[in-house]
Chain A
Amino acid sequence: MRYVKPESYEAASALLAAEDGIARILTGGTDVLVMLKAEMVEPDLMVDLKHLPGMHDIAAEDGGFRIGAAVSSAELGEHAALKAMWPGVVEGAELIGSTQVQNRATIVGNLCTASPAADSVPGLVTANAVARLHGPHGTRDVPVVEIPVSPGKTMLAKGEFITSIYLPARPVGASDAYLRFIPRTEMDIAVSSAAVSLELDAGGTITAARVAIGAVAPTVRLVADAGAAIVGTKLDDDAIAALIAATEAACSPITDKRGTIEFRTKTAGVLAKRAAHIAYSRAGGKT
């Protein structure tokens, strides 16, 4: 394996594009080093990007925030303004692994590993987050929801990598929340998960809602019907029942060592309900 720290984004994409063997990008390393250890992948080229400009920045932009690809989960959690605006996104990022892993893991790495159980992705999806890609043909912006295409696979072209994630501005009376189910209290991969992002009017009625679920389909899934089920409501019992029904209907999980189809489906609905209540309360709604 060759280890390279390119001097620019352009040099990085040129290196990646030119590599005939297996290339991997290193920022936090908390997934790729595990794969190395398990001999699941033996890269020919490891490209370290975390020293490049902007990679470690959390910058205010158009009322929202641009997060560099090498910003760790811990750094996200320490950013008070970001956490106030997108608490659900940050709590997803802060659930990835242990304290030690938090200090290295990045939401971009979490996204690019393309696991359906990735903890930070449902929150980014409900936030309408947009990834900025750099590649041999320049830069392009792609909604986060479109990045993973199947377990372990992204839509990134050869030579392309993500340089930052953009979280848009929020109106007053908006918030989000993320919950996952794990057997222990820490250190597990999500068996199911749900993120909910809401906007409320002054009276506490939901005017916009996005719901995303994880670990219940080949990729993190945005559930439009679930969002629609609670728009125009104050999360009354009927709305919650509709939310749960729409969420469960969107699940197509597998049974494996971590959970069954039935369990994943049932808990995804429960988590969507609970996350909706948390997001509603954070947004200033009173139930």
Chain B
Amino acid sequence: MKMIPVETTINGDQTEFLCNADESLLDVLRDRLGLTGAKEGCGTGDCGACSVMLNGRVVCSCLVLGVETQGAEVETIEGMADGETLHPLQRVFIEEAALQCGICTPGILIAAKSLLAKNPDPTDTEVRYWLAGNLCRCTGYDKIIKAVQKAAAEMRAA
């Protein structure tokens, strides 16, 4: 199979890679670019652990082909903190014990950040529905919802 060259922007950095036509963005990120923060929990868009931003919208990177990102802007969990300064969501997730095993955490943080960009003051119900595609098996979601709300309040006050 002939590989296809792709030029894209990942976390603000110009990036070039070669991939097969049928390779998902998730596989490209993990296997070719060493960005393993996005996880494969299902590979079929049912768990959200592979969530990334594609041109400003949160998507499952397992449901995007690598070749589709030609000329696109991709943001992953690796680009969320600013150097050593964590994004408020990241910091509050630690403070509020909103993670246990942590495998769903990168996807949930990406999805939560996209929610707060669109709706800085969501209700609990809105947070729950926005995150319905991000499965977490450890926490029962309770502390996740509370952490998102606490971070949202901080971000509104900032």
Stretch at the interface among B75-83, B86-94, B129-137: B129-137
Instruction: Please tell me if the beta carbons of B43 and A100 are within 8 angstroms of each other in the complex.
Output: no
How many residues of chain B get a CB closer than 8 Å to chain A's CBs? 32
From A29, A33, A46, A187, contact of B133 by CB (8 A): A187
Stretch at the interface among B10-18, B44-52, B140-148: B44-52
Query: CB-nearest residue of chain B relative to A43?
Result: B22
Asked whether any CB of chain A lies closer than 8 Å to the CB of B60, the reply is yes
Asked whether any CB of chain A lies closer than 8 Å to the CB of B59, the reply is yes
Given contacts A1-B21, A100-B45, contact A33 B63 (CB under 8 A): yes
From A38, A98, A104, A186, contact of B64 by CB (8 A): A104
* A1 contacts across to B, CB distance below 8 A: 1, 20-22
Query: CB-nearest residue of chain A relative to B21?
Result: A3
Asked whether any CB of chain A lies closer than 8 Å to the CB of B74, the reply is no
Q: Once the chains are docked, how many angstroms separate the CA of A248 from the CA of B20?
A: 49
* A46 contacts across to B, CB distance below 8 A: 21-22, 65
Shortest Cβ gap from A118 to chain B (Å): 16
Q: Once the chains are docked, how many angstroms separate the CA of A186 from the CA of B128?
A: 10
How many residues of chain A get a CB closer than 8 Å to chain B's CBs? 25
* A37 contacts across to B, CB distance below 8 A: 24, 43-44, 62
Q: Once the chains are docked, how many angstroms separate the CA of A185 from the CA of B133?
A: 11
- The digit string for A1-19, where 1 denotes a CB below 8 A from any CB of B, is 1110000000000000000
Asked whether any CB of chain A lies closer than 8 Å to the CB of B124, the reply is no
Q: Once the chains are docked, how many angstroms separate the CA of A186 from the CA of B54?
A: 23
Interface residues of B in 1-58 (CB under 8 A from A): 1, 4, 20-22, 24, 43-46, 48, 51, 54, 57-58
Asked whether any CB of chain B lies closer than 8 Å to the CB of A26, the reply is yes
Q: Once the chains are docked, how many angstroms separate the CA of A171 from the CA of B68?
A: 41
Asked whether any CB of chain B lies closer than 8 Å to the CB of A154, the reply is no
Given contacts A99-B111, A100-B133, A104-B63, contact A33 B21 (CB under 8 A): no
Instruction: Please tell me if the beta carbons of B132 and A26 are within 8 angstroms of each other in the complex.
Output: no
From A2, A29, A103, A186, contact of B132 by CB (8 A): A186
Asked whether any CB of chain A lies closer than 8 Å to the CB of B67, the reply is yes
Query: CB-nearest residue of chain A relative to B2?
Result: A2
Shortest Cβ gap from A96 to chain B (Å): 11
Q: Once the chains are docked, how many angstroms separate the CA of A103 from the CA of B4?
A: 25
Shortest Cβ gap from A70 to chain B (Å): 12
Instruction: Please tell me if the beta carbons of B130 and A29 are within 8 angstroms of each other in the complex.
Output: no
Q: Once the chains are docked, how many angstroms separate the CA of A3 from the CA of B132?
A: 32
Q: Which B residues have a C-beta under 8 Å from some C-beta of A?
A: 1, 4, 20-22, 24, 43-46, 48, 51, 54, 57-60, 62-65, 67-68, 111, 114-115, 129-134
Given contacts A98-B132, A187-B46, 4 further A-B contacts (CB under 8 A): A29-B64, A74-B57, A100-B48, A100-B51
24 cross-chain CB contacts under 8 A:
A1-B21, A2-B21, A26-B68, A29-B63, A29-B65, A29-B68, A30-B63, A33-B24, A33-B65, A34-B44, A34-B63, A46-B22, A46-B65, A48-B67, A48-B68, A97-B45, A97-B133, A98-B132, A99-B111, A99-B114, A100-B48, A101-B60, A103-B58, A186-B133
